Structure formats: C-alpha cells, structure tokens
Structure 1
C-alpha cells in the first residue's frame, strides 16, 4: 500500500509552490491531482468559459510545480459538484470536465482518475444514467490509457444518509464488472471511501473483500458517523476509541493483499487549525500514514523473508505465535533476560542474543518488544547485518485474551 496526501487544505491552487514544499518537508513524496481544487468560478454561466480556461491553467501550473519539486503524481480526482453549490447545469458541466480530466491525466502521465457518480433520479434512473456516463468516459479512458475508478456514495434523504450509487458491495462489484464487460477490457476499477462507509454503516471488511482486485485506491478519512467530515484517522475519538471501524478496514485490506494507492484526506482537520500549526499537523499525519502502512502490510512483511527469528519472550511474542506462528514459524525467540535462556515459550526455544550472530544474513529479526529503538541499536552494535523489523500487530486476524502472568512465568523459569 502506498499512502499519499491529498493537497486539499494544504496547497493554494493559484500559488502551489509553498504547499507542495510543506508536503515534501513533512515526508510525503507523493500527492494527487485533485482537479476539484481548481474548480472555482463555475457558478456563473456567463463567465464559464473564462473559469474553464483558468481551471486548466491552474491545473497545469500545479503539475508543473510538483514535477519541478520532484513530487510524484500517480492519481487524479475529477471535480464533483454537490447540489448545495447551486451551479447551473452542474451535471452537464461535470461530464464535460470529467472528459477533459481524462485528457489531462494522459497528458500528465497519470495512470488513474477517480470519478464520482452522477446523482439524482430514482434508483433505476440513476443506474441507467451512470451506466451511460461511465461507458462514455470508459471509451475515452481506454483510448487515453487511463484507468477510471468509481467511488461509493450516499444519498441524503431529509437529513438521513442512506446508501447511494455503488454504496454497497454487491452493486459495486456488479457495476464494475458490467462496464468492463461492455468495454471488453479492465478500464473501470473502484476507489473505496472509508468515510462514506462509516456514514452509512457499511461493514468495511465485507466491502473490501467483495471488491478484491477491483479495489485500486482507498480514501482514508475519518468522521463521527453523522457529519461528512474529513478528519485525520483516529482523531474522532469517543469513549477511549475511534468512531471509525479501522479494525475491519485494515483486516480487509490485508485479506485482499491491497497494494494500491491510499489517499490521506484530512481537510477538515487542517481547516480547523491555524496556518501556523498546519506544518506540525502535516508531520504528524505522515507518522499516521507510516503507521497505517506498517499495519496493513504486516503479513506482507512477514512473507518477504525466507526465515525469521523473534526478539522478546513476552506478550507480543505470544500474540505473534497465536496469529502467525503456524504460517510464518520463527526459528526461535531470544531475550535479554538470562533467566529464560534455554527455556521454552509458546513452543519456541528461548536463546541468548549472542546466538543471533550465527544466523544467515537473509534471516529477519522481528522485535517483539516496545523498546524498538534500544533493541535495534543493541543488534546493530553487535554488528548484525540481518534485516530488522518491528512487530506489533494491533489489528490481528483474531483476538485472544491470554496474557503473560509474570508470577507464572517466573515459576516456569525456576523449573
């Protein structure tokens, strides 16, 4: 999984240099081209041609500056207009801009374009309208060698949010497959908006696993399940936990071995902050992105190495053996406590750290202890060249409630 940062709330569309620099300084090497960032001025029909010219000019300037700074661009978003914006002929405008976005994406060498569905009409009317819309765009995208991604949506019925177009797994899968079958190629994929799933109460594990390989991108944003906000993940807390079901979302991404693009969108968090605080928030957001990548790719990391040993004979080691011991069996575990050397823990023999010197260099050492930095420094000071990874799976495939009782462990050591 590759986490990129949305520019909304960070980059000023007329003067993109400063915002893009802040992204790079925070550790984000890649962002997206959100064409909606430049879509101001369309409310008045008289000056729409002028607004469209500015829109394309600002998009070109943004891409040019990103390339100058070495910021990668691998995904784009077409503009989408909400009914509250009261833009005349908004649907006709949205279709036209989406077609231009396909051409621009090809011009910028961007592989994927996210396009939101059209709204309005009954269920049958809406489905027919979007089928025609995505077939039309799909033919253009096929010629331009750009992959389209449709997004799950919701409908607002008198303030009550319900599932909209492609808002549930079965419809999303059927729609993507039908469009691709009609086009005779894999032109359409899916972008799953985690925030929408939370607003309408969809099980994200079921949605992700149903999509499977169709899932090419995800939008990482949090809300409280009531308001359509884009908050930094884990920031909408209540009762000691997040209001988002990140557990099932991350488990789902693991289950399908997701390797696509994850767009971190926290525009609501940023706009609530003083401009003086935003650089610090960006740095923290990068830490969140690293954490999410680590957790989603936990199994991929274990699978990467031909052999592995653990460092630590405690609860984290127990968690590893409970969830991964059978599929990715370690050679042994080791510990700094000399009292446990030569004993057995969770079916593993416990070794002294010095025994690690005899490992082949391609054998990875997984630290199962919260003192990651200290232990990694210890291992490097020993002159070990082995890959060193950190294990702390907070989204394990199954829960278990066995904890290491210190007294029982002491008794085992004595024996």
Structure 2
C-alpha cells in the first residue's frame, strides 16, 4: 500500500504538536505535508504585512520546531514534504520585502527542511509574465531563485519541487484563471534535467497539483507521462474547475449524473504508467474548517480512506 499524507495545517498546533500528530496517526496517515507556509501566509505577503517569525535565527527556529520534530517521530509520522512560504517575490512589491523573502525566508526555510529531515520542499515560481513579457524571462527569474538555494539542497539531499500554478487575468469584465508558471510539462522536464545535471544531484523535481491542473484544463495523463520520474510529490484536492477550492476529491460534478469535474481515472492511470512510488499527499486543509471541529477526526479518516482507494487502484496490475 502507498503511504498517504495530508497537510499539518488545521491539525498540528504549536502549543501541543503531539496531539495533532497523534490525530494524524489515529486517522491512518503515515506521512504529512508540513505547512511551513502557514507561518507566513501568502495573503499577508501580498499585502506587505510580514510578521517577524522568520526574524528568528536558525538556532531559534530549530528550537521552535524541536517539539514538532519529536512529536512526529513519536507518532510515527514521516514529514515527507513541506511548502515554502510563497510568493518569494511580489511583482512591484517593496524592494526591502522582496529582499527579505529571498534572503531570509527562503534560506531559513531550507534550514528548517533539513532540521525536520524532510526530503522535499515545494516552491512557487515567480508570477512575472505580464511584467517581463515572456514565459522564458519569467522562468529565468525563478531559475535565479532556485540557484540561490540549490547548493544547500544538493549538500543536504533535499529536492526542491516546482509546482504547476495559475494566473488571475482580468479582461475588464471579469477575472478568470489561466495557466501560470510550470504548466508546460515538456519545458518543466527539460529545466529539471538541466538543473540536476548542473548540480550533479536531484536538486529539482516536480509537485503536481491536480486542483490547479483542473482549473486550467491541463491534460493530466499527458502531463504526468511527460514528467515521468521527475514527479516527486503530489497535491491532491478537488474543485469545480473554476476556483481553487482545495476540497475533497470526487465531490464536484459536471452534471447531476455525477460526472466528476476532475479526471481522476486519467490521473490514476498516469501514475500507474510512470511507476509512481511516492506519497499520496492531500492538500485539503480548508476541508477541516468547513466541517464542525468535533468532526475533524472523522473527516481526516475519510480523507485517508480516499487515499486508500487511490492506492488500491494504483496497485491493480501496476507491476504487470
């Protein structure tokens, strides 16, 4: 059976991390996606409201997260992936703030990743296509950022994972979502190979976010087949094909006859065909606040059950 994971956000609390990790264990999870981005929210970054959490020294941050590390081990939960705070650069943002994100938040995030013995850290590429005029120029800025942390990643056996994103576009009448950074699988595969060859190590990989892919109508099967072994981590969640809702898989339909808005069969088949052996990790933290607090253990068990279903489907004839 595949390992199944979920975000720590809305489960693990700083004042009693053991309680949260034990809740994950009791729900049947073996892994987690450590929500480092919850310590500096994206909406606050865009608003220029930077809290002082990452002002702490590396040693202070290690001390802060020691109870989390110990609790995860006590509960038998592997921290297999984490999410760096994002964005790491705000277009037309304050120069000092962008410098702080790049030179303080990012390297300290890498130090935390190492400390928690986490092998994968997900980043968001910069959204600068409108400002710089081309996807290639946008990628060059993201590549510059990756270069700033890739040496540390290589030395400490960490894989930085780029993620398929979306952009918001306003045509004067309404705002809609379109393809953003890392939505071209062939470019992503070539860029990952280039980085890994440059550093002689698997410093770069891919995080496939199925919810983002559903919004911008990517071909899941073709995308994942193109990535192949470069796919390292997953963000599993669902939406209506319009908004980034991060809800339970299989819960949105196109018709009353229950045709799913997300092509889960194509996704599962692609994972089979590329021989994916990673963690089935759910990015469904908002679900836990849409249900009553008392139902949290029940909802977590249900998420885990969905993961078990996907695992069972993957194991059917996977190695034949």
Q: TM-score, normalised by structure 1?
A: 0.66
Offset at residue 289 of structure 1 (A): 0.9
Q: Which among 157, 166, 174 is matched to residue 145 of structure 1?
A: 157
Offset at residue 13 of structure 1 (A): 3.7
SS at match of 2:52: helix
Offset at residue 208 of structure 1 (A): 0.2
CA contact (8 A) 1:35 1:59 kept: no
* Residues 236-251 of structure 1 mapped to structure 2, 5 A cutoff: 236-239=252-255, 240-251=258-269
Instruction: Say whether 1:112 aligns with 2:120.
Output: yes
Larger Rg: 1
Q: Which among 72, 95, 100 is matched to residue 93 of structure 1?
A: 100
State the Cα deviation string for residues 220-266 of structure 1 (Å, max 9, x = none): 11111111111111122342132111111111111101111221121
Change (3 A) 1:250 1:73: same
CA contact (8 A) 2:125 2:139 kept: no
Offset at residue 125 of structure 1 (A): 3.0
Offset at residue 44 of structure 1 (A): 4.6
Instruction: Say whether 1:190 aligns with 2:198.
Output: no
SS at match of 1:237: coil
Distance 1:219 1:34 in 2: 12
SS at match of 2:293: coil
Distance 1:79 1:12 in 2: 18
Match of 2:251 in 1: 235
* Residues 325-404 of structure 1 mapped to structure 2, 5 A cutoff: none
Stretches (4+) displaced over 6 A? none
State the Cα deviation string for residues 262-295 of structure 1 (Å, max 9, x = none): 2112122221111012211111111111001111
Change (3 A) 1:102 1:231: same
Match of 2:142 in 1: 130
Distance 1:248 1:199 in 2: 16
* Count of paired positions: 300
Q: TM-score, normalised by structure 2?
A: 0.85
Distance 1:267 1:44 in 2: 23
Does 189-198 or 139-148 show the bigger shift?
A: 139-148
Instruction: Say whether 1:72 aligns with 2:78.
Output: yes
Instruction: Say whether 1:261 aligns with 2:279.
Output: yes
Q: Which among 302, 306, 312 is matched to residue 284 of structure 1?
A: 302
Match of 1:163 in 2: 179
Structure 2: 5+ residue runs without aligned partners? none
SS at match of 1:234: coil
Distance 2:302 2:95 in 1: 40
Offset at residue 60 of structure 1 (A): 3.3
Distance 2:94 2:11 in 1: 25
Supply the RMSD in Å over aligned alpha carbons. 2.6
Instruction: Say whether 1:222 aligns with 2:234.
Output: no
Distance 1:299 1:236 in 2: 28
Which structure has more relative contact order (CA 8 Å, sep 6+)? It is 2
Instruction: Say whether 1:295 aligns with 2:319.
Output: no
Match of 1:391 in 2: none
